[in-house]
Amino acid sequence: MKKINLFILMAVFALTGIYCGSENRQSSVGDDSLFLSNAYAQNDSIGRLSNQQSILESRQNAITRAVSRVSPAVVSITVTEIKRYVQRNPFFQDPYWQHFFPELFRDRVFEQPVQNMGSGFLISPDGYVVTNDHVAGDGVEIIVTLPGGKQYEAEIVGTDKVSDISLLKIDDKNLPYLKSGNSDDLIVGEWVIALGNPFGLFELSNQPTVTVGVISAINRDWGRTQETGRVYMDMIQTDAAINHGNSGGPLVNSLGQVIGMNTFIYTGSRYEEGFVGIGFAIPINRIQEIIQQVKEKGEVNRNYWLGFKVQDMNNLISRALGLEVKDGVIVTQVEEGSSGDLAGLKSEDVIIQVNGVPVHNTKALIKILEDMDLQVGEVLKIRIIREGKEQNIDMKLVEKKD
């Protein structure tokens, strides 16, 4: 009997173990299925993220990367100027009315604040900003706005009307700034990016407008403009869109280096104002030369001393000197200690070229010198005829003595 009870008890234990084992195996299979399901879902999510990342990376290129790097250092500039206006009475030339009513019929001069806008860019982490003189040079109040909307009141460190370059300063540290490229190493046809504040659009979202084009030409010399007296030399021509408000903004290459400052556009007519695919930027190498002087001295030193006099060549002078040339100017006097004297220029030398530009007469020489925006320390390469032989001399410009 005991053996039968023992047998029954063992059978019960065996059946219980089988059931429990089966239940455990089912639970294990369910856990494995859930794990695999979660793993598949996670892999699918990672796959989708990877595809999205690949698509995003495929949209990136040298231009978008350059824009991302330089945009934080491009600023909007709002300037308040005081403009003077003259109100002229229609009877101002009548001596009768002027004699009896001088207070009523004289010109009236009044001043009025006027707002102007433009662009600029930071060139150092301590807040130095470069822009055009025609943007900020006459400002009595200048507000600089960074991407993101932070505003600063700026002061003018120095400005140069001839080169159309101004240096401003805002009070802050660790600011984003642009690195300079080399404007003597440009390639016609390479991609460029113009950034700035056309038509004040910067204010809509506190970020600069970006346009893209190529370098259309280099070394465009416009000479001295009659209306303003500014001298635009070695300008970079681009077809990247530049409009009102872009002045002072950077022109950068695909590496994110600033190579110039957007300054003006050519429309083909004084009655047209819109962009037609021809814009011009001041080369960064020229900008650096100007701002270094402005930063150190507050101005650009153009008080140079040529120290020689000339007159036009003519047939009589040519025969007297035994020369066959008819173009050029003959040196008639050289002042001691002057640039001409130190360079070895002598009376009766005939100047036929300056910096590679032919000199036909005195008027042409004056025009050449005016269009060069010469400064103390620069070197002129002059080609002369002396005793019937052509030779070159280098004339370093020295400062004029008081």
Q: What is the pLDDT of residues 151-164, one digit of tens each?
A: 999 999 999 999 99
pLDDT grade for 58, boundaries at 50, 70 and 90:
confident
Phi then psi for residue 51, to 5 deg, are -65, -40
Q: Is the dihedral of CA 183, 185, 186, 188 positive or negative?
A: positive
Can you spell out the DSSP letters for 141-171?
Answer: EEEEE-TTS-EEEEEEEEEETTTTEEEEE-S
Q: What pLDDT sits at residue 32?
A: 56
Which residues, in sequence order, are CB contacts of 89 under 8 Å at separation 6+? Answer: 104, 105, 106, 107, 108
Looking up tokens 């020229």 gives 286
DSSP 273: -
CA-CA distance, 250 to 116, in Å (whole number)?
18
CA-CA distance, 167 to 127, in Å (whole number)?
10
Which residues, in sequence order, are CB contacts of 53 under 8 Å at separation 6+? Answer: none
Residue 17 has pLDDT above 70, yes or no: no
Q: What pLDDT sits at residue 350?
A: 94
The length of the chain in residues reads 402
Residue 186 has pLDDT above 90, yes or no: yes
Q: Is 68 a catalytic residue?
A: no
pLDDT above 70 as % of the chain: 79
Give residue 9's identity as a one-letter amino acid code: L
pLDDT grade for 168, boundaries at 50, 70 and 90:
very high
Least confident of 55-69, 80-94, 122-136, 336-350: 80-94
Chain CA centroid to CA 238, Å: 12
Q: Is 394 a catalytic residue?
A: no
Residue 25 has pLDDT above 50, yes or no: no
Q: Which of 119, 247, 338, 339 is catalytic?
A: 247
Q: What pLDDT sits at residue 142?
A: 96
Fold category of 304-399 in CATH: Pdz3 Domain (2.30.42)
Q: Is 134 a catalytic residue?
A: yes
Residue 202 has pLDDT above 60, yes or no: yes
What's the burial of 79, exposed, middle or buried (CB within 10 Å: 0-12/13-18/19+)? Answer: buried
Residue 333, number of CB atoms within 10 A of its CB: 11
Mean pLDDT throughout 85-109? Answer: 62
Mean pLDDT throughout 305-328? Answer: 88
pLDDT digit string, tens, across residues 105-117: 566 676 788 889 9
Q: What pLDDT sits at residue 150?
A: 95
Q: Which of 76, 119, 133, 134 is catalytic?
A: 134
pLDDT digit string, tens, across residues 301-313: 999 999 999 999 8
What is the average pLDDT score of the chain? 85
Q: What pLDDT sits at residue 271?
A: 61
Ordered by start, the domain boundaries in the chain are: 2-59, 70-297, 304-399
Report which of 141, 166, 125 is spatially closest to residue 295, judged by C-alpha positions. 166
Are residues 183 and 229 in contact, defined by beta-carbon separation less than 8 angstroms?
no
Residue 15, number of CB atoms within 10 A of its CB: 10
Are residues 255 and 182 in contact, defined by beta-carbon separation less than 8 angstroms?
no
DSSP 281: E
Can you spell out the DSSP letters for 219-252?
Answer: EE--EE-TTT--EE-SEEEE-S---TT-TT-EEE
70-297 under CATH 2.40.10.120, yes or no: yes
Give residue 106's identity as a one-letter amino acid code: R
CA-CA distance, 257 to 238, in Å (whole number)?
16
Q: Is the dihedral of CA 116, 118, 124, 127 positive or negative?
A: positive
Mean pLDDT throughout 176-198? Answer: 96
Q: Which of 164, 239, 341, 349 is catalytic?
A: 164
